[in-house]
Structure 1
Amino acid sequence: MSTVAKELPTTGSPTLQVRRPGRGTKGTALLVGPPIAFLALILALWYLVSALLGRLSFLLPAPHRIFTEGFFDARVAGDIGNAIVQTLLVSLAGLAVAIVIGVVWAVAMSQARAIERTLYPYAVILQCIPILALVPLIGFWFGQEFFARMIVSVLIALFPMVSNTLFGLQGVERSQRELFKLQGASRWTVLTKLQLPAALPAMFAGMRISAGLAVVGAIVGDFFFRRGTPGIGSLISNYTARLQGPQLFAAILAAALLGVAIFALFGWLTKAAVGKWYEPATN
């Protein structure tokens, strides 16, 4: 007993040091290794299929050709850069409009069940209508330039903002609502001081989803509306018609990177806006 007593600390409480996983060289290798290995496997299969195609390799050009004949070619890189800027402008404009309309729409539905029953079915219908069926009408009504492309982007990006914002507004705990009622708070006070702050995490989640969809909408609009400055969708269509495989894959990769960049931007904005006071539950 005396030996045990000597080994125990005499002052303060014993501390338990927990080693976090993913630290050190081994943790980094476990984190980065599998994705890199999977990418290497994909590239190996890609090269193999491209070699087997022979003269038809333009259907699946070797990965290095995407850079040598695509991004590293001054003319192609310039065309892709200009098209990406145009698509970025359209998608950001469409996303901004979708955020404003989506938040206003969700706030209106959150104020009364009758309004929700009236308006929410139309949000679902708008989501379910094939956008390609509306594109001819959009071109007929609004022309085939920037504004028409922006409308396509809005239509595709709108529903996640409506549904996520409504979910956040209606997810406030009943006890908090009752506390505001006991204090005699007005409907406007409940909305601005309780519902909207509580709904911010859900709203930012909707923004991240809508950000990627806004890029998709801008590209879809480019495929059909050819007037004005061409976007990346118009460039993809042109490369497809000319059977320019490396340039086509370079344009597709640039469009994918644009969507990832916008998604990452809104992920950062989410952490900056609500990360200090909101932490999702983890197992």
Structure 2
Amino acid sequence: MTAGIGTPAPRRPRTGRRSLTVVLPLAFALAFIGLWYITSAFLLSPSRRFILPMPHEVLREAFLTPKNLLALLGPLWTSTVIAMVGLSIAAAIGVVTAVLMSQAKWVETTLFPYAVALQSIPVLAIVPLIAFAFGYGYESRILVVVLISLFPIITNTLFGLQSTSPQMRELFTLKRASRWTVMTKLQFPAALPALFTGLRISAGMAVVGSIVADFFFRKGDSGIGLAIDTYRNQLNGEMLYGAIILASLLGLVAFWMFGLLGRLFVGSWYRPDRR
């Protein structure tokens, strides 16, 4: 039977969509590993194969050898702690800043250009200044994470706070609701999806920041970035790629974790339109 005018188009079954979310990334991963094997086996000479060792060699040396795995997990934990502490500080600063911007236009006009400038300045350019001011320890590494991950939280939270329905605002005005009531009962709940989107973006950037900071601030426990630099200098391809894979997994886990938290907080009432 032909669907009439106004009849909604049939939706793809949820089971099909969920299977695609597994099948497509898995297919891409298998294709990537196959290309990796071809490049290492046929495009590199044996004397240069340390540049791109075989995937099974990376698996055996980095992950199936207990001593080497422990040598990677310690730095990975250090980078995880630094990334999460820096991200927590950035989240607190970013949310407060966005709330202030949403409540007073002059605050947004004053602070937003500096937030953009902070995002535009290469972190490597201000690393010497951070070192002079805070030294080469944990504080400097955390500060780098904060600087890298702050901007997406500010912009996404501000967008969410400013995107509330005008009709709902008028309703709150008619009820003579206070500014605090409007913020807590209308604006902030409506901004939660955008806030968690910003946190997901910043979570990956926080991991990058912790790795970048390892290259310059070497005091304290070694992070995964310092491990990458060490294995690079040693031309230890298997351990180098093992460290890179773990760093990538850390970023993915952080991204997925905040996606899960977002669904737990807003999933019961927020449903983005997906086709």
What TM-score comes out, normalization by structure 1 length?
Answer: 0.88
Deviations 1:160-197 (A, max 9, x none): 00000000000011111122122222211211111111
For 1:55, which of 47, 60, 74 is the aligned residue?
Answer: 47
Aligned to 2:159: 167
Deviations 1:138-173 (A, max 9, x none): 111111111111000000000000000000000011
For 1:44, which of 34, 39, 54 is the aligned residue?
Answer: 34
Gaps of at least 5 residues in structure 2 are 1-8
Contact 1:22–1:30 (8 Å) recurs in 2? no
Aligned to 1:205: 197
Aligned to 2:65: 73
Contact 1:83–1:235 (8 Å) recurs in 2? yes
Superposition CA RMSD, Å: 2.0
For 2:110, which of 118, 131, 134 is the aligned residue?
Answer: 118
C-alpha distance in structure 1 between counterparts of 2:85 and 2:212, whole Å: 15
Matched, 1:252 2:249: no
Matched, 1:138 2:138: no
Matched, 1:129 2:93: no
Cα pair distance change 1:35/1:215, threshold 3 Å: closer
Letter in 2 for 1:189: T
SS at match of 1:199: helix
C-alpha distance in structure 1 between counterparts of 2:24 and 2:166, whole Å: 45
C-alpha distance in structure 1 between counterparts of 2:164 and 2:14, whole Å: 37
For 2:225, which of 233, 242, 249 is the aligned residue?
Answer: 233
Letter in 2 for 1:191: M
Letter in 1 for 2:69: A
Gaps of at least 5 residues in structure 1 are 1-17
Cα pair distance change 1:181/1:40, threshold 3 Å: closer
For 2:91, which of 70, 95, 99 is the aligned residue?
Answer: 99
Letter in 1 for 2:148: I
Letter in 1 for 2:29: L
Aligned to 2:147: 155
C-alpha distance in structure 1 between counterparts of 2:188 and 2:49, whole Å: 54
C-alpha distance in structure 1 between counterparts of 2:212 and 2:238, whole Å: 21
Letter in 1 for 2:204: G
Contact 1:208–1:267 (8 Å) recurs in 2? yes
C-alpha distance in structure 2 between counterparts of 1:140 and 1:104, whole Å: 28
1:277 to partner: Cα distance? 1.1
Aligned to 1:109: 101
C-alpha distance in structure 2 between counterparts of 1:267 and 1:34, whole Å: 19
1:244 to partner: Cα distance? 0.5
SS at match of 2:176: coil
1:71 to partner: Cα distance? 1.3
Deviations 1:223-274 (A, max 9, x none): 1111110100000000011111010000000000011111111111011000
SS at match of 1:198: helix
Cα pair distance change 1:28/1:205, threshold 3 Å: closer
C-alpha distance in structure 1 between counterparts of 2:116 and 2:107, whole Å: 15
C-alpha distance in structure 2 between counterparts of 1:235 and 1:69, whole Å: 15
Contact 1:211–1:262 (8 Å) recurs in 2? yes
User: Which region of structure 1 is more displaced relative to structure 2, 202-211 or 182-191?
Assistant: 182-191
Aligned to 2:3: none
C-alpha distance in structure 2 between counterparts of 1:38 and 1:204, whole Å: 27
Equivalent residues, number: 265
Cα pair distance change 1:30/1:182, threshold 3 Å: closer
1:134 to partner: Cα distance? 1.0
For 2:254, which of 236, 257, 262 is the aligned residue?
Answer: 262
C-alpha distance in structure 2 between counterparts of 1:67 and 1:130, whole Å: 35
C-alpha distance in structure 2 between counterparts of 1:34 and 1:194, whole Å: 38
SS at match of 1:148: helix
